[in-house]
Chain A
Amino acid sequence: MARYWSQYLAVSPYYLIFSVFMLFPMLYTVYLAFQKWDGIGEMQFVGLQQFRFLWDDPIFWLSLRNTLVIWVLATVPMLFMALVLAVLVNSVRRFTAFYRVALFIPSITSLVAIAIFFGAIFSNNFGLINAILQAMHVSAVPWLSNEWTIKLVIAALMTWQWTGYNAIIYLAGLQAIPSELYEAARMDGAGPVRIFFSITIPLLRPIILFTVVVSTVTGLQSFTEPQVLFGSDASTNPNSGGPGQAGLTTLLYFYHQAFDNNDFGYAAAIVWAFFLLILLIVTINWRLVQRKERRP
């Protein structure tokens, strides 16, 4: 052990910062979930009361449904498009560096900027998309006030941001597949579709598993998108998730409880319940994709 101290010292800054800014707040929310606290007053121990409130709170369940719907609407097309893009980029011979950079740009662009931009494009009365629709004599769609289109817009925003990121990961996976396998398949007379399903997909499975898990974790945590699109409707009712609360994701609801209502104990209960849910979904995902891998 003693010989490795310098290495431990070298990696310690990360762990120090992690413990102060992530681990401690995380453990502190566990403590908070059993308290009633408004941020500056006295804390009051209330036991499991916050969780009982949670169970009876229709808005919490609504926020869960919203989050899941938005997650499915965003993740499924996103991973599919990412795979297609990765295969395309993998097959081109020229300008590959340019394509990779281009794919990566959306995921490093400020989410707030993207959300404002999407808000302008999808604006009900004065947005670009509705202007185009009207020019083609199709009636305008109330994108930002209909229950379903609100979710669609948020999902489109997430898809736009993360497709390229996943495509880069798939690309790395594709390039790790030995080219002999492809050559052998071609010698045996397999077409491109057969090669894709019989060689590319099976060998890419660990990578797909990784992206599914990561997209689940990030996708369920959607917060900035609805917050910027529908955040401050009015000073009387901030962060409520837009018309009909259709854009209220669980994390936005958490934020609303903690920082608008100063109900920190309840907010802590919300995130812990939500953490358990994410854990459950990730486990289900993992097992589903794992099982496929074992199949001969």
Chain B
Amino acid sequence: MDLSRRRFLEAAVLTAATAGLTAACGGGSGSSGGKDSKTLKLWYWAGGMSDKVVADAKKHFSDTTLKTSVIGGDFKTKLLTGMKTAQTAPDITGIKGEDIASFLPNANRFLDLNELGMDKLAPEYLSWKLKQATTQDGKLIGFPIDIGPCAVYYREDLFAKAGLPTDPAKVSAELSTWDAFFEAGVELHKAVPKSFLVNNIGAVFSMAVGQGTKRFIDEDNTFIGDQDHIRAAWTTAVKAYTLGIDAKINDNTWNAAVGNGTVATGLGAAWYALDIQNAAPATKGKWRVASLPSGPSNLGGSFLCLPSTCANPEKAFEVVSWILNPENQARGFTDAALFPTAPAAYKLPALTGGDAFFGGQKTIEIFGPAAEKIPAAYEAPADAAVSAAYYNELTAIEAKGKNPEDAWKDAVSQAKQIAQRQGVK
């Protein structure tokens, strides 16, 4: 077949016209969706919400079609791409706790939940967690799904072998400071040479920073990562290394290390329990939970947000507040280890029962009080990016034996540079 230029041009124009038409139609249907849409798209990641509660929500709101997608891979990147146009954007989306701060400068891309009625519900939820999703001018963009109050997970049998206290209340009381905790680790390592107290010193640093009311950048967008509060957290972390109680596990061998007792304790949030259970089911009954030395800290915990393109804000807020009411949060805890953000849930049977994996211990006695006492710290949009420099240098101490003093200087200078790049003063 010989195609003449004219025929080719005709074909090309036709193709272009069709494409244009499709695009135009697509745009039309998106904007005509209006405020009375019957379909709401909900995005979250695997394990980010209780699948059972979500399934119930679909039945409960029979007048609305709730289209849920469990998004795999890099959730934040996919959300950024999805939010480019109204057609592809979800009406309700999960945002991870570590990412929420980086969305705050673009709060105008989300609906203010206070305007939808969250201001009335707020007293039922943890105030420090709401603060994390609130802009400086008081706009709330995230409904808290869960939190990550931190604790010490420890192997009761190994503690017994080393002659350390084994009862959770006693451990919490006697190892109540980092120094006391580390001393116990030295004794433990002496008695059980293959066991170490901490997994890696980055974990200690993360806990210690979370115990403070300030992080790396303050409310005026000034870099404060070189000040005493960060330096103290750094010194605490490095101490675990110099005492030789650091297992230096920075790769995927953690699972095996938990199973064979190389790590005798874990510093982690409430959801960490599920990680230990999955990694080492055979250690069931040997673990206990005690309070974090030197006060509570938070790690992770996510939000549900309504992008400003949401088809039906009132309905969406109704759905979200139903999914995250105290009763359903308690179910989320049993179902997906999501620690409730509504203190009322802490008194419900789902949380007050004993946990067989922890020898029947009522872990809420540790997590509940911790959750309510977590210090509210301002988390700047660039916080996660800036903090990376410290973790990298702490790992360099473990991996290369880098001098801790040099590592501190490098961490601060790199953190400053990242901060500058992100527009921090």
Residues of A bordering B, CB below 8 Å: 2-3, 5-6, 9, 36, 38-41, 53, 56-59, 119, 123-126, 144-147, 230, 233-237, 240, 242-246, 259-263, 266
B77 near A236 with CB under 8 A, answer no
B251 near A243 with CB under 8 A, answer yes
Residues of B bordering A, CB below 8 Å: 1-5, 8, 74, 76-77, 80, 83-84, 96, 98, 102-103, 105-106, 109, 202, 206, 248, 250-253, 256-257, 262, 299-300, 382, 384-385, 387-388, 391-392, 395-396, 398-400, 402, 410, 413-414, 417-418, 420-423
Interface residues of chain A: helix, strand, loop or mixed (majority): loop
B384 near A145 with CB under 8 A, answer no
A237 near B391 with CB under 8 A, answer yes
Out of A146, A243, A245, A263, name the residue touching B421 (CB < 8 Å). A263
B399 near A236 with CB under 8 A, answer no
Q: How many angstroms between the C-alpha atoms of A259 and B395 in the bound complex?
A: 22
Question: Chain B contacts of A119 at CB under 8 A?
Answer: 251-252
Closest to A126 in B: B256
Closest to B11 in A: A9
Closest to A241 in B: B392
Once A6-B2, A262-B102 are accepted as A-B contacts, the answer to whether A57 and B417 lie under 8 Å apart by CB is: yes
Once A40-B80, A145-B250 are accepted as A-B contacts, the answer to whether A5 and B202 lie under 8 Å apart by CB is: no
Q: How many angstroms between the C-alpha atoms of A58 and B158 in the bound complex?
A: 43
Q: How many angstroms between the C-alpha atoms of A38 and B84 in the bound complex?
A: 13
Out of B1, B253, B392, name the residue touching A123 (CB < 8 Å). B253
Out of A40, A234, A260, name the residue touching B106 (CB < 8 Å). A40
Out of A39, A245, A261, A266, name the residue touching B396 (CB < 8 Å). A245
B420 CB to nearest A CB, Å: 7
Closest to A1 in B: B5
19 A/B residue pairs, CB under 8 Å, sorted by A: A9-B3, A9-B8, A36-B423, A40-B80, A145-B248, A145-B251, A145-B398, A147-B399, A234-B391, A236-B98, A237-B202, A240-B391, A242-B395, A243-B395, A244-B399, A259-B74, A260-B385, A262-B76, A263-B385
Closest to B402 in A: A244
A58 near B251 with CB under 8 A, answer no
Question: Chain B contacts of A53 at CB under 8 A?
Answer: 417, 420-421
Q: How many angstroms between the C-alpha atoms of A97 and B250 in the bound complex?
A: 44
B74 near A2 with CB under 8 A, answer no
